[in-house]
Every structure is written in structure tokens, then in C-alpha cells.
Amino acid sequence: MKKVILAILPVLLIASAFQLSSPSNNYKPAPIVSPAVKDRIDATLKRFIDSGKTAGVSALIFEKGKEVYFNAFGYADQEAKAPMDRNTIVRIFSMTKPVTGVALMTLYEKGAFQLDEPLSKYAPEFTEMMVYKGVDANGNLILEPAKRPITIRDITRHTAGFAGTEIPALAELVKKADYMNPANTLSEMAKKLAGLPLEFHPGDQWAYGPCVDVQAYLVERLSGKPFDQYVKENIFDPLKMTNTRYVVADSDRSRFAALYDRSDNKTLNRVPDDRANSFNTKNWALKPGGWGLTSTLDDYMKFTQMLVNKGKAGKVRILKPETVQLMATSHLSDTITKRMWLPSKGRVGFGIDFAVRTQPPATKEENNGVVGEFFWDGAASTMFWVDPANELTAVLFTQLVPFDRVKLHKSFRDAVYGEYQPAGK
């Protein structure tokens, strides 16, 4: 009897998690997006345009499977007076990452790998990694063997330890390796990255970096198909995401938003098109897993709706419910205390290519949100979230760098959910 209970316990736990994240048939909470909330969102987004903080902004929200909000303000191209609208194509940068995670987990469901297997089992380049300890009196690197192999779980939650640019001695090597050069294939990228020392032992810290690009390489290795082809066949085509791709076709360039810079925190300056569009107007060898896709509001909403519906969109199933739940559960243990800038996202952990809200906001300064939501954003200040408890998904687009210096994301979240209320109020 004891063995039977232990055997079914994981199933019961997964079922319980879904019951907690979904309203019961008998309980019907009031809608989040009421007419008053729509007006509040409108006023909030318009204020960012009127104040000159960004050139154009658009937002789309679905609740319980239905569109409950859409509006757009300002310009996709301020100089050409091209309005921002729901057909505008934008650079989603790191909102590419959850797409890559879903692609990888379709292979997980086929039994192609296990999360705690060594990455080197499928990508031998990453065997016997060395870890940076410091430099000696002559400036030479001091290295030691990694305490354990990088696992696939590590590359899904940013704990692999790949070298970044924070440590000068490693930054120099990263620059010389130039592994993210768009002329590299994913295989060439992986080989160059694997040749660098790790910044920390796998599993010791959370540090944002090229982990998801390695996921894309792993998808190629496991599927035998180019990454962009696999994603198109297994995600974009089934979900009818016809406007999501790495290369914007000539015929669609008029819909491609300009990119604006507000580095001085006072004025908007258009990033020169030859720089802003250099990656997305040529079919480069590199198809990154961590960035590079372009999309429209409606296309990305199809992706988020698949997630809130536990892996299904209409009659199409991309993932099993338990796989979505696995992705939307934090995989960071309390021992991982160094988490780079992740705490700036709120009281969150990290799952498989999503931040996961584990506690409600503690103060009005924190980003608003609901426990159990999972989300991410992009370098040009785009964002999305999936709120399973309210069956709500939101996508916010603008094209502004540096990342959300104007605090658009917090203002949008407050407009949707209302301003922070202390517990018990």
C-alpha cells in the first residue's frame, strides 16, 4: 500500500498544482479587465506617448479565451508617421527564449533527453569544463575543473556558468571568441563557447547569458533539423504564427517598427536603420535561441494562449499540461543566492525559460502580478505574461532601448491589476 501511495504522489501533486492555478467550476471571480480597467490602461499607455517617453506602444490582453483589450498609441515609425497598430512587426529579442524552451520541451516529451542528464551527452563540446578562479601575479588565468557537469536543466534555468563580461579577464576571452557573430552556425557558436572557461561552477549561481542559444543548438542535435525549421514546423505553423520569423521579408518592411534609444533619459533618438535592422533583414547563418525573432501582437498572443490553455490551442496540442506546468515552476533552489538582476523582476524564481512569480509584491515599488504567473520580456522593452489563476495573458509591445528605463512595465501591470495593496487590505 505504501508503495502505491508513493507511486501516485507525483501525479497527485501535479493535479493539485493545476487545481490551485485554475478557477473551479463553482467559483467565478469577477473579470480583471472591466470597462474601468480598459480606460485606465488607455490613459496609462497614452501618457507614455504624450510625455515623449516612447514613440509607440501597443497592448493586447485575453481573458478566459477572449480578447478583452487592444489599443495602440503613437508611431511605429515616428519619422514616417506610420502609426503603431496590431499588425506592426517588432523585434522581440529575449521573448524568443520561451519559444526556444517550448521547442526543446517538445523533444523532452518524445523522450529525447532528461533534464538532469549532462549536456555533454548530446553536445560533446561541453565535456570536462574548466572554471575561472582568478588570475596569478602575471595575469594568467587560474582554472579548476568543474565540480560537476553542466546539465540540461542548467541551460534551461541560466545556471550553467557560461562566461560573461563582468570579469575583465573573461570579458577579453569572450570578445576574442566572438561566438555570437551572426556568421556562425549554432554548431560553431557552441564550439567557441565551450572553449571558454566557466565563470562559476554549474548550479552555483543564476546568470543571464547564452544558455538558451545552447538550447537551440541542442534542438538541432536532437531533432536533426535546423533550429528555425524545427520551430516553424512544431510551433509557428501549428499555431498559425505567420508573422513570426528571423528575417523580415521585403514585402513586410513597411510594417517593421523603427527602434528608438533614450539613453540620456530625456530625448528619443532613432537607432540608425542599418544598425537596428542588420540582423533581421539578412538570412544570417546564426539562428539564436535567445533572441532574434520578430513578431506581431496577435502572433505572440497565439503563443501565450497556447500556454495558458496548458499546451493546447483549439484542436492543436503543442505540449502536454504537465510539461507546461514543469516549465512554469521555479527550478531555483534556495542555495542559489546569487541571482544577478533577477530580483528586479519581483519576488520570482525561474523555471524553464520563464520567470515564475512565487510571492505577491511586498511593496508598491515591486512589479505587480499574481502568484503563479510566468513571464519574460525583451531588450526593446517588450513584455508578456501568463496568469493561469485568472486565465489571462497580456502582450505589450514598444521598441525602446535601454530596457524599460521609463518603467512602462510596472505602469502597465498596475493599470491591469490596480495599484499595490498590502496583504489583508
Q: Do 413 and 280 have their domain in common?
A: yes
Which of 185, 214, 243 is at the close of a domain? 214
Partnered with residue 118 across adjacent β-strands are 151
Residue 252 lies in a domain: yes
Q: Do 406 and 337 have their domain in common?
A: yes
Which of 162, 179, 214 is at the close of a domain? 214
Q: Do 302 and 263 have their domain in common?
A: yes
Q: Do 141 and 67 have their domain in common?
A: no
Q: Do 88 and 237 have their domain in common?
A: yes
Q: Do 244 and 377 have their domain in common?
A: yes
> In the numeric block, which cell numbers belong to residue 258?
523603427
Residue 65 lies in a domain: yes
**What is the model's pLDDT at position 29?**
74
**What is the model's pLDDT at position 25?**
54
Residue 330 lies in a domain: yes
Residue 369 lies in a domain: yes
Q: Do 287 and 246 have their domain in common?
A: yes
> In the numeric block, which cell numbers belong to residue 385?
505574461
pTM for the model: 0.92
Q: Do 192 and 318 have their domain in common?
A: no
pLDDT by residue for the chain (425 residues), tens digit each? 444 444 444 444 444 444 444 444 565 678 999 999 999 999 999 999 999 999 999 999 999 999 999 999 999 999 999 999 999 999 999 999 999 999 999 999 999 999 999 999 999 999 999 999 999 999 899 999 999 999 999 999 999 999 999 999 999 999 999 999 999 999 999 999 999 999 999 999 999 999 999 999 999 999 999 999 999 999 999 999 999 999 999 999 999 999 999 998 789 999 999 999 999 999 999 999 999 999 999 999 999 999 999 999 999 999 999 999 999 999 999 999 999 999 999 999 999 999 999 999 999 999 999 999 999 999 999 999 999 999 999 999 999 999 999 999 999 999 999 988 776 65
Domain count, the chain: 2
Residue 135 lies in a domain: yes
Residue 375 lies in a domain: yes
Measure Cα distances from 293 to 136, 226, 300, 350 in Å: 42, 15, 11, 22
Residue 347 lies in a domain: yes
Q: Do 64 and 171 have their domain in common?
A: no
**What is the model's pLDDT at position 70?**
98
**What is the model's pLDDT at position 135?**
94
**Separation between Cα atoms, residue 121 and residue 371, nearest integer Å:** 36
Give the number of other CB atoms < 10 A from CB of residue 312.
Answer: 17
**What is the model's pLDDT at position 6?**
44
**What is the model's pLDDT at position 221?**
98
Please say whether the beta carbons of 259 and 270 come within 8 A: yes
Measure Cα distances from 179 to 145, 173, 174, 183, 374 in Å: 22, 10, 8, 9, 30
Q: Do 57 and 200 have their domain in common?
A: no
**Separation between Cα atoms, residue 253 and residue 238, nearest integer Å:** 25
Residue 13 lies in a domain: no
Q: Do 294 and 150 have their domain in common?
A: no
Range of the domain at 205: 115-214
Q: Do 68 and 190 have their domain in common?
A: no
Q: What CATH number has the domain bearing residue 282?
A: 3.40.710.10
**What is the model's pLDDT at position 4?**
42
Which of 162, 190, 214 is at the close of a domain? 214
